[in-house]
Structure 1
Amino acid sequence: MSGTTTAADVRDNKAQSRFELDAHGEIAFANYRRVNGRVIITHTETPPPLRGRGIASSLVRGALDHIRADGLKVTAGCGFVADYLDAHPEYSDLKA
């Protein structure tokens, strides 16, 4: 995974309320809830063998791109997403 992941690489699995990213035969995901025009990302998970490779960051970036395209706001319900938003001011307009 690299910094070139886009919303097209991340899918919104609405049936399971999670964003998903295929990575090396595994799936990283970010669970969410939609409430009043915002998306609360409650948990992100990368399969243990793939951690430390930037996959979770790629997943969150793609999820935020989806959220922006849908005209919604985001609330970080997990520490990883909160840290990502703090480190990437280009997404500050999405904070609910």
Structure 2
Amino acid sequence: MNSDEIVIERRNRVTHGEYVASFDEKATAGRLSWTLRDGARDAQHTHVPAAMRGRGIAARLVEALVRDARSEGFKIIPSCTYVAAQFDRHPDWADLRA
């Protein structure tokens, strides 16, 4: 696998979940966690370690959440400041904001 290829894994539980980014199966490069609230997914926290920043990892995590919201029909509560900033940068996502 190319070391620059970001793989996003979705881990859903009933009331919460996360998106985990990695460059291989061993090293976690970032994560976005969410909790179910009023039928929407509350994106609460996005974290990318300092050594991994600047590679677009956080953006890819949010894009994965948005893609799933579009395909599965759920809304997103952007409680995380990074997710909220991405929603501000993408007016075409406004219909997904809870």
**TM bracket (short chain):** 0.7 to 0.9
The worse-fitting range, judged by mean Cα deviation, of 17-26 and 31-40 is 17-26
Mapped partners of 1:23, 1:67: distance in 2: 24
| 4+ residue runs over 3 A deviation | none
CA-atom RMSD in angstroms: 2.1
Counterpart amino acid of residue 14 in structure 1: N
Which structure has the larger Rg? 2
Task: Say which structure, 1 or 2, has more relative contact order (CA 8 Å, 6+ apart).
Answer: 1
Mapped partners of 1:55, 1:76: distance in 2: 17
Mapped partners of 1:88, 1:62: distance in 2: 14
Residues 46-93 of structure 1: CA distance to partner in whole angstroms, max 9, x if unpaired?
122110121101111111111221110000111000000000112111
Residue identity (%): 26
Stretches of structure 1 lacking an aligned partner (at least 5 in a row) = none
**Equivalent position SS for 1:33:** strand
**Count, aligned residues:** 91
Stretches of structure 2 lacking an aligned partner (at least 5 in a row) = none
Q: Within the alignment, does 1:51 sit opposite 2:53 as a pair?
A: yes
Mapped partners of 2:55, 2:29: distance in 1: 14
Mapped partners of 1:64, 1:82: distance in 2: 12
